[in-house]
Structure 1
């Protein structure tokens, strides 16, 4: 499994409430079409054709899109900052929604997310806090993650942990119920790794 961070303001528009309510993330870069089968070279060609990016911004756009479309995988994890909080989600597949592929919107490149946990940023361990502080639109944690035990690679120790227990999540109850239903369904998956992740997430929520 891999861990990523992504900013919640593609094209400068704050989307965190929409991300949490509708269980997805997006990255911006409209005018590039469906990128599911596109190589980095094809992404570059489409970005150039859009005429919206050049120089270092163009280079960063190719890196960001390749991370979002290809390096992220179903079952990886993502962190999204929300003021003094951070939300952890289990990623789904990449998909393209043509409806939102227009200038000034940028919600066309998407991944579904099952939101698992919300904690104060002050409770993060230093390595994960450093990832979250990365200024890139999207980036990957390059260290080694302990298998399955989410709390081991997210949270540090200290007074902030008790605050997290007192205000466990800013995600509404309906969304939490839907997420738990998805996790329960994943317990019956043919993929042993997915079953294990679902079991860990459910047990962690029940603590």
Structure 2
């Protein structure tokens, strides 16, 4: 999981209200078509052909970051005035009807907006990220150092915590209890309810798999 900053003004136009309303982010690079299935070298060739009189390095870096480096489930920060919007990023998609010099918003990613944060409350590492001049740039440090946890919904905080190596506490169950439980499951295998039979079979197979994995 990674963190990125994206500017709110692709093609020099403030799009923050539209980003929030329609739940997406965008970078400005019109005229080169859908990039979803193109490799980085192929993207470079397309850019060189479509913009022969300009330096394509910056554009190529932005495209590579937006299309390849950024992934579904990453986080994005979009600064606007004294507020910063935190979002959960979705997949890249291309909108042909907005592929024009006038709009320049054809390259998009869906976003689930999670929170609005006063910019002054973000730590210096994130402030440095937001100060990058590029239209999009990645946070180079471990995402935990960004200090965004307190602005995440509870279920995402729990998901973040599961990435840590937390020891799992095993509960001891005596043999008699195990035998009784298996007996109940075996009886359920013979009942008339097909869903109950299926659940019982799954439970027994899971138990057998756990026993084999533990070497018992």
TM-score between the two structures when normalised by the length of structure 2 = 0.68
Write the distance in 2 (CA, Å) between the matches of 1:52 and 1:30.
14
Q: Deviations over 1:49-72 (max 9, x none)?
A: 2227612xx101000000000100
**1:115 aligned partner:** 113
**1:127 aligned partner:** 125
**1:29 aligned partner:** 29
Asked whether the 8 Å contact 2:28–2:107 carries over to 1, the reply is yes
**1:76 aligned partner:** 74
Write the distance in 1 (CA, Å) between the matches of 2:36 and 2:62.
14
4+ residue segments displaced more than 6 Å: none
Q: Sort the Cα spacing of 1:52 and 1:30 in 2 relative to 1 into closer, same or farther, 3 A.
A: farther
**1:139 aligned partner:** 137
Asked whether the 8 Å contact 1:87–1:117 carries over to 2, the reply is yes
**2:97 aligned partner:** 99
Write the distance in 2 (CA, Å) between the matches of 1:108 and 1:66.
15
Write the distance in 2 (CA, Å) between the matches of 1:121 and 1:195.
25
Write the distance in 2 (CA, Å) between the matches of 1:195 and 1:110.
28
Asked whether the 8 Å contact 1:47–1:53 carries over to 2, the reply is no
TM-score between the two structures when normalised by the length of structure 1 = 0.70
Question: How do 1:1-207 and structure 2 match up within 5 A?
Answer: 1-51=1-51, 54-55=54-55, 58-146=56-144, 150-151=148-149, 196=159
**1:201 aligned partner:** none
Question: How many positions carry a matched residue from both structures?
Answer: 160
Q: Deviations over 1:72-128 (max 9, x none)?
A: 000000000110110000000000111111122111100000000111110001101
TM-superposed deviation, 1:195: 8.1
Unaligned segments of structure 2, at least 5 residues: 161-216
Unaligned segments of structure 1, at least 5 residues: 156-179, 188-192, 198-207
Partner-residue secondary structure (3-state), 1:146? helix
Which one has a bigger Cα radius of gyration? Answer: 2
Q: Sort the Cα spacing of 1:126 and 1:106 in 2 relative to 1 into closer, same or farther, 3 A.
A: same
Asked whether the 8 Å contact 1:88–1:115 carries over to 2, the reply is yes
Asked whether the 8 Å contact 1:75–1:194 carries over to 2, the reply is no
